[in-house]
Structure 1
Amino acid sequence: MKNKILVLVLFLMIGGCTTIEISESDAFDPHVTISADQFPIHSYTLHDLKIETEDNETLDAWFLEREGANKTIIYYGGNGFLMMKSRPLINAYADLPVHLLMIDYRGYGRSTGEPTVDGVKTDAKAAYQLAKNNLPVEPGPIYVHGHSMGSFLATYIADSVDVAGYILESPITDVDSWTKRLVPALLRPFVRFDIEDSIKAQNNIEPVKRIKEPLLIIGGEQDEITPFRMAEELHEKSPSREKSLVRIENGNHNDLPTFSAYKSSLIDFFGDN
């Protein structure tokens, strides 16, 4: 590994500095999907919904209604999330008395439009408004849960509207710190990121400092995409009197819902709130 780094350093020194451009189109990874009837979900009544956003896009949404539930969780997935990939998440929530609302962002799955930073924030607000006002059942207290890129949306919503608490899974502190940590310190003099302003502005530290509602942060010990120290920093910055930080041993970036410690952390969090 050290030899590879030295070779790369030599290459960069000979070839000059490298600029890595990151635009809005690079920040999203939309895919098409299949319909809900091809994804049987047990223990829930599945409502396949459409959400109209304020800028006239139509989002595909699933509302998983659970008998006897007294809370609603809005889940904001990461860059590559599709509702069709949600089986591990659903299994982790399966024994909790909660309803679960998920969306495919604009341009993802069967949702219309093209993903942009402002666009997915609009999607996040539309999901909250649906949960607050237009679900088939009484939602009870509303919580937001964001994974990776979705952690920006969870803090955005928790900082701007009334929520009972929020969950950050594999969260990012801020885009600038995150990109710097992608490059070994030895190479940083030779690598520069040219990040579009709309992406660079995304920051979880400032809203977390303002949000006082209960907070659960979950991170993976082996996560190389959003290292656990980012979760630790956000936990430290939070003023909440009810906050928990869970480090999942051997957990990576996308597999945390498969661990028993993940499910236990949800049970503890919602049992206390």
Structure 2
Amino acid sequence: MKNKILISLLFVLLGGCTTIEISESDAFDPHVTISADQFPIHSYTLHDLNIETVDGETLDAWFLEREGADKTVIYYGGNGFLMMKSRPLIDAYADVPVHLLMIDYRGYGRSSGEPTVDGVKTDVRAAYNLAKNDLPVESGPIYVHGHSMGSFLAAYIADNEDVAGYILESPITDVDSWTKRLVPGLLRPFVSFDIDDSIKAQNNIEPVKRIIEPLLIIGGEQDEITPFGMAEELHEKSSSDIKRLVKIPNGNHNDLPDSEVYRDALIEFFGDK
């Protein structure tokens, strides 16, 4: 979606005013991928699961069981996330004694259906219900971790379900603020956005004001997609008594799990519980 917006901004420079359309389909980037048996995962027992949603879709899911773990983290990726791309994340959690549950949203990987905002919210609820009631082992306290678009989903679950804490990585405050930050100040009089209502309604500011469970926010110093200022704003407005904001030096939007600072932040966050 960002590439589409940048191309539109180029036309602004060349030809004057424009309206940039952001439809619901622009928010998702599904792909078909290979299966888990072609992706060795160390330190875990991998359970390749199917999750049935209430509206009839079947989601591909991985439950990474870790011996001795007493907590479960549900990870909600960004719009381009696939479980087959999750090795850096899995490595980042390697020294954290938690089970890890991931899903491919509807239309992604081997999951059925087509992604929509309401549909993906149904998916993340289905993953939460699986973690709560039907994992191969006892889940223990449940945490949610969302990256980029997935930060909306993690906050949505933390706001509506019983979680022990939540992590927002490269988070977005709200869609209006995000689109404005994409446009240089001098161009703003010439640019407007026509955004689908389902996308425009996504907001992390109000949920973090309500959620009181422990919060870890992680952002990249060099992130041009979701600037670190958004992470700072959410941290400031959070009502959590236990909250921490971590800036990854030289971090961009998608490479934060490679950082030792990121991994140490996870260890500290879960070690405090």
Conserved 8 A contact 1:13-1:190: no
Conserved 8 A contact 1:39-1:84: yes
Percent of aligned positions that are identical = 85
TM-score for both structures, normalised by structure 1: 0.95
Partner of 1:258: 258
1:96 is displaced (CA, Å) by 1.1
Partner of 1:28: 28
Partner of 2:62: 62
1:213 is displaced (CA, Å) by 0.1
Partner of 1:235: 235
Is 1:163 aligned to residue 163 of structure 2?
yes
Cα distance change, pair 242–10 in 1 and its aligned pair in 2 (3 A): closer
Q: Which runs of 4+ in 1 moved over 3 A?
A: 8-16
The count of residues paired between Structure 1 and Structure 2 equals 266
Q: Unpaired runs of 5+ in structure 2?
A: 1-7
Letter in structure 2 aligned against 1:247: K
Quote the Cα distance in structure 2 between the aligned partners of 1:248 and 1:24.
30
Deviations 1:127-167 (A, max 9, x none): 00000000000000000000000000000000001000000
Partner of 1:209: 209
Letter in structure 2 aligned against 1:81: F
TM-score for both structures, normalised by structure 2: 0.95
1:10 is displaced (CA, Å) by 11
Cα distance change, pair 14–98 in 1 and its aligned pair in 2 (3 A): closer
Quote the Cα distance in structure 2 between the aligned partners of 1:43 and 1:14.
54
SS in 2 for 1:216: strand
SS in 1 for 2:176: helix
Quote the Cα distance in structure 2 between the aligned partners of 1:117 and 1:11.
29
Question: Which segment drifts farther, 51-60 or 16-25?
Answer: 16-25
Quote the Cα distance in structure 2 between the aligned partners of 1:130 and 1:222.
36
Cα distance change, pair 68–208 in 1 and its aligned pair in 2 (3 A): same
Partner of 1:111: 111
Letter in structure 1 aligned against 2:211: I
Conserved 8 A contact 1:70-1:140: yes
Partner of 2:5: none
Quote the Cα distance in structure 2 between the aligned partners of 1:21 and 1:263.
38
Cα distance change, pair 11–95 in 1 and its aligned pair in 2 (3 A): closer
Deviations 1:174-203 (A, max 9, x none): 000000100100000001110000000000
Partner of 2:50: 50
Partner of 2:180: 180
